Amino acid sequence: MAESAFKGFPPRPEVTPLANIFFTEVLPGLSDIAEIKTVMHIMFLLSRRRGYPRFVSLGELHSDPVIVKGLGEPGGNLDDLLRQALKSAVAHGVLLSVPVEMDGQADEAYFINNQSEQETISRVLDGSLKMPRMKVRKTEIPAAPQPSDIYNLYEQNIGLLTPIIAEDLQEAEHRYPADWIQEAFKEAVRANVRSWKYILSILKRWEREGRKDGKSVRDTVAGSDPDKYIKGKYGHVVQR
């Protein structure tokens, strides 16, 4: 039997505050329904959270009945759907993620991406802010990897670098020439679309169609050192 339709809002219901910019700039850029459901529920949870700092853990979301019901698609894997939704929300710059241990168990802490929470995370990472029952899994944070243009470009033009984003940037750095990456960031800044997803779409388009200079990604890479990444820090993940 089909689920009955919503019967309407009661008089004077409780409300969850959302910044206007969420509807004008964030929501139009989200297309995955699982990501939208997850982001909006996290905002609901955080609006009712007391204390400092305010965050939601992955373990908490796994057992949340609203998330379980909302993402529990037939034949789907809740863990995969939730993790992908959270990864996308971090990539879109809506959420910030910090790998932590909660009561000795590996977990992830998710914060709303705003200036206040960016400062909070900086204090958590440098140890000046302690959180009860929780500590940062520092070994899993790409602590100051060898300075890389793509990492610097991201932090200077988009925002705080997180472990999940660092993995995506590493993959892109292996796939695309450095001058392509720099130019893609410039295009995003000129268009005032400071989103890694948008930058990656530019790189993928150039890969399919070639850049304005007429060079394909293969032509551009061909002129570089073929052993650049095999000999480098991440050589173990690159194959000839």
Domain chopping of the chain, boundaries: 20-137, 149-237
Q: Which two tokens stand for residue 226?
A: 């073929």
Q: State the Cα–Cα distance between residues 75 and 195, nearest whole angstrom.
A: 32
Q: Please indicate whether the domains covering 20-137 and 149-237 agree at the CATH topology level.
A: yes
Contact of 124 with 131, CB cutoff 8 Å = yes
- Whole-number Cα distances in Å, 161 to 11, 69, 77: 43, 31, 28
- CATH architecture of the domain 20-137 equals Orthogonal Bundle (1.10)
The H or E element spanning position 77 is: none
- CATH architecture of the domain 149-237 equals Orthogonal Bundle (1.10)
Residue written as token pair 């241990």:
101
Q: What is the pLDDT of residues 156-208, one digit of tens each?
A: 888 877 778 888 898 998 899 988 998 998 888 877 777 898 899 999 999 88
What pTM value is reported for the model? 0.58
Alpha helices (runs of H) in 28-99, residue ranges in sequence order: 33-47, 58-62, 65-71, 78-91
Instruction: Give me the phi and psi of 78, to 5 degrees please.
Output: -60, -45
In terms of Cα–Cα distance, which of 72, 74, 132 is closest to 100?
Answer: 132
Low-confidence winner among 83-87, 195-199, 235-239 (lowest mean pLDDT): 235-239
